[in-house]
Structure 1
Amino acid sequence: MFKNKWKLLIIGAALLLVGGIGFGLTFNNDNVDRGEAYHREWQLADGDISLVKLMGDQDMRVNVTESTTGKSYVTMNGHLSQEAINRLDKSVKANQDNLTIDIENKQEWFSFLEFQIYGEQTVTIHVAKGAKLGELATNLSSSDLSAHDVTAKMISLKAGSGKIEASNLTADTTVVTNSSGNIDLKNVTSDLEVTNGSGDNEIQGVNGDKLSVASNSGDIEVKSVTAKTTTLTNGSGSIDGEQVSGAVKVDNNSGDIDLSGLNDAASVNSGSGEVDLDFSDLKKDVTVDADSGDVNIEIPTSFAGFLDLRSNSGDIKSPNIKTSSKTVVKVRTGSGNIKIEQ
């Protein structure tokens, strides 16, 4: 019996050694296709730009800046296969009020043990003074996306698998969608809708009427949010928020909920996990429904409403409050303690 184990260990070690040698040989310079360097520039029509759409499966960095020539145009550079560059030149039509760029790798075959590493493609949208960008849209199948300093009426950032990173976004509406990968957003002045299949979501600095973040699996973290309504929904993972101003609705199936800087109505539904809420002001009703987990709420000393607290299995601790308002803090737990501090 022990001899068989030793044989298996020796065979496993040999396979790891062979695999390591193969990996090293595969990633030598002769087996890596780094593409051809290119630089392209496309002039746009005078006046407002209706749409710039970017598609493909390569990492992409997007910036919007004011043109210094008095004309609107788009520049793009990086490394791609010669086939992709040729197709790019044929497909992009300049001197229009819209531009669609598709750099998806459509080669049918690739050499065995040859890897394509083209790096990041850089796209800069130069908008003439006085002109406006209607929509910036991306649809990347499997790559990272970085977008910065974008002002448009509509911003739509979509990736299939890869990280989405964006900052300084200004729009009426911004929609960010990722199937699998982290989302990192900073300084968004817009209504914001974020949907992620699997990956962590970090959002800092939002100013708009609505913020909505939904994730199937992954942590949600929001900071410095000023919105009329904030909706945070998670299937599995923690939900954390700091300085969240406005009405808040939270639904978490599995994971802790920790929110601070609250100052408006709040509705929290927790399947499994601890709930911690900290209010800087409390003049609207608060409802917490937790199946399993402790609930801890910090309320301001000025609160003079009702405390409606019930737990099927757990202790309840709360201050004595002289009631003079109709505001209600209602907490229900299936299994867990309830603690209210003032």
Structure 2
Amino acid sequence: MNNKRWSFIAIILIALGIAGMAYQQFDFSNNEELPYHQQKWSFDSLTSLNVNSDYNVDVKFINSSDNSNYVEVSGNMKQETIDQLKNTVAAGDSFTLNLTEKQSWSFFSFNFHSTKQQITVALSKPEQLDQLKFKLTSNDGSFTDLVGKTIEVSTSSGNIVVENAKTNQLTLNATSGNITAKKIAGDTEINLTSGNTKVDELTGALIVESTSGEISIDHVNGPVKTSITSGNTKINNLTGPGEFKSTSGNITLSDQRSDSLDISNQSGNVKLSIDDSFKGIYDLKSTSGNIKAPDSPMKNSDLIKIRVTSGNISIE
């Protein structure tokens, strides 16, 4: 009887929710256009920049044309965010930019509208920036021409795109969403729980850890290490050593130039293209599956090691 009563209450609540949405003509956006705001902060020098945002962001770094250093933000945003920005003062060589808002709920109001904020950072000397950090709540972020000794971008749920970055260390974190990194100069670490990872044109060491999704890597010059629980791993044009682990999914390497590979896969196939310049040893084992590979040249101690529990191994 209790179960029937709770089911009836649940049906009533759902019906009321639908009625509320119908009353608003299923309008999931803001009823009014958010006010536009633009603001700039200038600095003698800038060594640390932190950005916290509840909005989507489009971030661009530019070379200063007049030897000035500044951070500029523009876009449509809530008035409370504007008021917060107006009270933000630049002091010293460290700056924190908060594009945050209070979360509000209304039973008959559903707001899925998310605006994008434009952030421009101009530096007279790009090498002056020691630390750059972006923390997004559940939002997308695109980042172009980033510079900084250490760069970190994180989001709880959203997509991250970084293109053309120069750094000693780049770290990209997301719980849910896709991560794309293009034209990166510097060591890079990517941590993603659920979503696809794509890396294209990277010089430096690369580490990718993912729980569920697909890993796609192209044109990397440096050591690469990947680990994934469920999903395929595709590597193209690798120059440097590699370590690849998968619990479930296929691992494919094509046009690689590596003298040291360590690949392990519990369930899935492993496929490598032949590297004619490889003169070392193939150490290949599959518990349940077929192995197709050329004989080891055995002219040096270079090693390609592959272990598969259930799946095929092919080098051709």
- TM bucket (normalised to shorter chain) is 0.7 to 0.9
Compute the displacement of 1:262 (Å): 3.1
What SS does the corresponding residue of 2:52 show, helix, strand or coil? strand
What SS does the corresponding residue of 1:32 show, helix, strand or coil? coil
Measured against aligned partners, the alpha-carbon deviations of 1:316-335 in whole angstroms (never above 9, x if no partner) come to 44445665444454544444
> Is the Cα–Cα contact under 8 Å of residues 175 and 192 in structure 1 kept in the other structure?
yes
The residue aligned with 2:25 is 25
Measured against aligned partners, the alpha-carbon deviations of 1:118-151 in whole angstroms (never above 9, x if no partner) come to 5110010111247622222101111101110111
> Is the Cα–Cα contact under 8 Å of residues 148 and 168 in structure 1 kept in the other structure?
yes
Among candidates 210, 214, 229, match of residue 219 of structure 1: 214
> Is the Cα–Cα contact under 8 Å of residues 28 and 112 in structure 2 kept in the other structure?
no
Among candidates 258, 267, 273, match of residue 263 of structure 1: 258
Mind listing any 5+ residue stretches in structure 2 that lack a counterpart?
1-14
> Is the Cα–Cα contact under 8 Å of residues 305 and 325 in structure 1 kept in the other structure?
yes
The residue aligned with 2:52 is 55
The residue aligned with 2:128 is 132
> Is the Cα–Cα contact under 8 Å of residues 211 and 230 in structure 1 kept in the other structure?
yes
Cα RMSD, aligned residues only: 2.7
2:106 is the alignment partner of 1:106: no
2:146 is the alignment partner of 1:150: yes
Task: Determine the C-alpha separation between the residues in 1 that align with 2:304 and 2:104.
Answer: 62
Among candidates 74, 97, 104, match of residue 77 of structure 1: 74
The residue aligned with 2:228 is 234
The residue aligned with 1:290 is none
Identical columns (%):
29
Evaluate the alpha carbon distance shift between residue 338 and residue 192 of structure 1 in structure 2; reply closer, same or farther with a 3 A threshold.
Answer: closer
Task: Determine the C-alpha separation between the residues in 2 that align with 1:117 and 1:245.
Answer: 44
Compute the displacement of 1:186 (Å): 0.5
Evaluate the alpha carbon distance shift between residue 69 and residue 277 of structure 1 in structure 2; reply closer, same or farther with a 3 A threshold.
Answer: same
Measured against aligned partners, the alpha-carbon deviations of 1:3-49 in whole angstroms (never above 9, x if no partner) come to xxxxxxxxxxxx8xx779829713187x53431111111111x13x1
What SS does the corresponding residue of 1:76 show, helix, strand or coil? strand
Measured against aligned partners, the alpha-carbon deviations of 1:198-229 in whole angstroms (never above 9, x if no partner) come to 11011101111x210111111111111001x2
> Is the Cα–Cα contact under 8 Å of residues 33 and 117 in structure 1 kept in the other structure?
no
> Is the Cα–Cα contact under 8 Å of residues 70 and 128 in structure 1 kept in the other structure?
yes
Compute the displacement of 1:314 (Å): 4.1
Mind listing any 5+ residue stretches in structure 1 that lack a counterpart?
1-14, 279-297
Task: Determine the C-alpha separation between the residues in 2 that align with 1:129 and 1:334.
Answer: 53
> Is the Cα–Cα contact under 8 Å of residues 33 and 116 in structure 1 kept in the other structure?
no
Equivalent residues, number:
300
Task: Determine the C-alpha separation between the residues in 1 that align with 2:299 and 2:67.
Answer: 63
Task: Determine the C-alpha separation between the residues in 1 that align with 2:175 and 2:126.
Answer: 36
Give TM-score, length-normalised by structure 2.
0.85
Evaluate the alpha carbon distance shift between residue 273 and residue 64 of structure 1 in structure 2; reply closer, same or farther with a 3 A threshold.
Answer: same
